Structure 1
Amino acid sequence: MSKKHILLINDIAGYGKVATAAMLPILSYLGHPVYNLPTALVSNTLDYGKFNILETTDYIKGVFPVWKELGFSFDAIATGFIASERQAKLVADYCREQAERGTTIFVDPIMGDEGKLYNGVTPATINSMREMISVADLTFPNYTEACYLTDSTFNEAGVSNERAKALLNGLRSIGTKSALITSILIDGTPSVAGYNHKTDSYFTLPYTEIPFHFPGTGDIFSAILIGHLLDDDLLVPSTQKAMDGVYKLIDLNKDNEDKNRGIPLEKYLEVL
């Protein structure tokens, strides 16, 4: 089977296995040719509390005309951290053009967790991510991000199954075809909630939580999920494989001394 080519549009951290540095080795290991376009250069994972960041919007603005002139195209594009509204417009317009030619668009609207926005993420980012979701075939925010995107109230105690469906419908109204909500407590159980536009069906996949935090686990989830979808696996089993992969990697690394640098993926690719 011919493997599909994917472009990662995400940030690059100098210190830590997150974003592009987490997704590229997984997708490559799964056999897909991977290309990348950095949205920002970040000194280290934000979990350390101090960081330096360089936005690359002007660079991106110069890249797209060159790629168009050279005739470059991709089977899929996966977007992650978007540094500004201006950058979001550039990237969304490019994704829209590519989607019209048959490219599949995956959007991970990276903004926050546990009811709060991440360090350095501003309210303007929410509008940027809505712009990205408007061109998506599949988006997969966590519960916090889904609440921000749909102007919904975050509830630490979680939601009912009906409320989860309402959040998914809110994401669909922004423009995405299919949607997942990760890290959401549904009727007291940690779960991933989803809507599959190909089957017009909702689903819920429960999981067991390991009480350790690593940056980059969302990127690992994205990469495993996308890798299987690019092999034409169905959405529900691909989501389950991504959940299982993240669980295994956290379990294998739960005793690591410095969790802020993320999971050292190269040691553990074979478990995927």
Structure 2
Amino acid sequence: MNKKQILLINDMAGYGKVATAAMLPILSYFGHPTYNLPTALVSNTLDYGKFNLLDTTDYIKGVFPVWKELGFSFDAIATGFIASERQADIVSRYCLEQASTGTTIFVDPIMGDEGKLYNGVTPAAVKSMREMLSVAHLCYPNYTEACYLTGREYKAEGVTKDEAHNLLEHLRKIGSKSVLITSITVDGQPSVVGYNNIHNEYFKLCYDEIPVHFPGTGDIFSAILIGHLLDGESLKDSTRKAMDGVYKLIDLNKDNIDKNRGIPLEQYLNIL
């Protein structure tokens, strides 16, 4: 099978299996040559409440001309945490340029969960992420992020099927061709809803929730999803496999004492 080269544009945590540290081992295990460009260096996962963060925008600005001169290209680019509006502008322009030559752009607009923004994420991030969505072939915000991106009210009790459909449509209007919304309760069921631009298909996939929290599960979902998509599988099937993979990993690690460091992925790659 012809494996695809993918670039991860996401933050790198020194302590904890999140973002690039979570995605790189999974995509590499899938056999895809995986490269990375850190948007920020973070001392540890934000769940510890205290952290140090270095914005790498100036570094990124210097990287792209070098890569262009060396003729580097990628089959796909996956973006995650974006540190500033300036960084969003530089990264989105690079993604747009690469997309014009056939590169697929995946955007995970990492901003918040459970109705609020993550520790250290500012309201300006919402504008930055809208800019990233405008160049995406596929975006997959969680329900909280979808509400922030579209200016819709977050409902803790969840939404109806029609409201979920409406949210997908408003995300498409921002520019992403295909869309998923993760961690959304639809008619009382924890679900992932989606729209596949290629087949003009809407779908809803339900799951059972395990009541524990690990940082990085969205990144794990993203990596498994992308791994299957790059192998030529459909969006709906890839989404289901990503959901099942995350469920298995949470179930196997639900009794871990320090959940703030994320899931220790390397010992479980064979189950994916």
Q: Please indicate the TM-score interval, normalised by the length of the shorter structure.
A: over 0.9
Aligned to 1:194: 194
Say which SS state the counterpart of residue 238 (structure 2) adopts: helix
Aligned to 2:10: 10
- For 1:167 and 1:100, the matched residues in 2 are separated by 28
Aligned to 1:104: 104
TM-fit CA distance, 1:150: 0.2
Counterpart AA for 2:18: V
- For 2:61 and 2:199, the matched residues in 1 are separated by 37
Aligned to 1:266: 266
Aligned to 1:43: 43
Extract structure 1 runs of 4+ deviating beyond 6 A.
Answer: none
- For 2:120 and 2:214, the matched residues in 1 are separated by 18
Say which SS state the counterpart of residue 257 (structure 2) adopts: coil
Q: Does 1:63 align with 2:56?
A: no
- For 2:127 and 2:65, the matched residues in 1 are separated by 25
- For 2:114 and 2:149, the matched residues in 1 are separated by 15
Post-superposition CA distance 1:226-250 (Å, at most 9, x none): 0000001000000000000000000
Percent identity, aligned pairs only, is 77
TM-fit CA distance, 1:216: 0.2
Q: TM-score, normalised by structure 2?
A: 1.00
- For 1:142 and 1:91, the matched residues in 2 are separated by 21
- For 2:165 and 2:121, the matched residues in 1 are separated by 27
- For 2:165 and 2:25, the matched residues in 1 are separated by 33
CA RMSD of aligned residues (A): 0.3
Counterpart AA for 1:166: N
Say which SS state the counterpart of residue 243 (structure 1) adopts: helix
Aligned to 1:129: 129
- For 2:216 and 2:158, the matched residues in 1 are separated by 23
- For 1:271 and 1:252, the matched residues in 2 are separated by 11
- For 1:8 and 1:236, the matched residues in 2 are separated by 22
Aligned to 1:215: 215
1:171-182, aligned counterparts within 5 Å? 171-182=171-182
TM-fit CA distance, 1:141: 0.2
Aligned to 2:232: 232
Structure 1: gaps (5+ residues): none
- For 1:267 and 1:197, the matched residues in 2 are separated by 36
Aligned to 1:90: 90
Aligned to 2:141: 141
Counterpart AA for 1:236: K
Post-superposition CA distance 1:191-249 (Å, at most 9, x none): 00000001111100000000000000000000000000000100000000000000000
- For 1:125 and 1:61, the matched residues in 2 are separated by 19
TM-fit CA distance, 1:34: 0.2
Post-superposition CA distance 1:106-161 (Å, at most 9, x none): 00000000000001100100000000000000000000000000000000010000
The count of corresponding residues between Structure 1 and Structure 2 is: 272
- For 2:148 and 2:176, the matched residues in 1 are separated by 16
- For 2:269 and 2:92, the matched residues in 1 are separated by 31
Post-superposition CA distance 1:157-188 (Å, at most 9, x none): 10000100100001100000000000000000
TM-fit CA distance, 1:2: 1.2
- For 1:170 and 1:22, the matched residues in 2 are separated by 30
Say which SS state the counterpart of residue 268 (structure 1) adopts: helix
Say which SS state the counterpart of residue 109 (structure 1) adopts: coil
Q: Does 1:28 align with 2:28?
A: yes
TM-fit CA distance, 1:27: 0.2
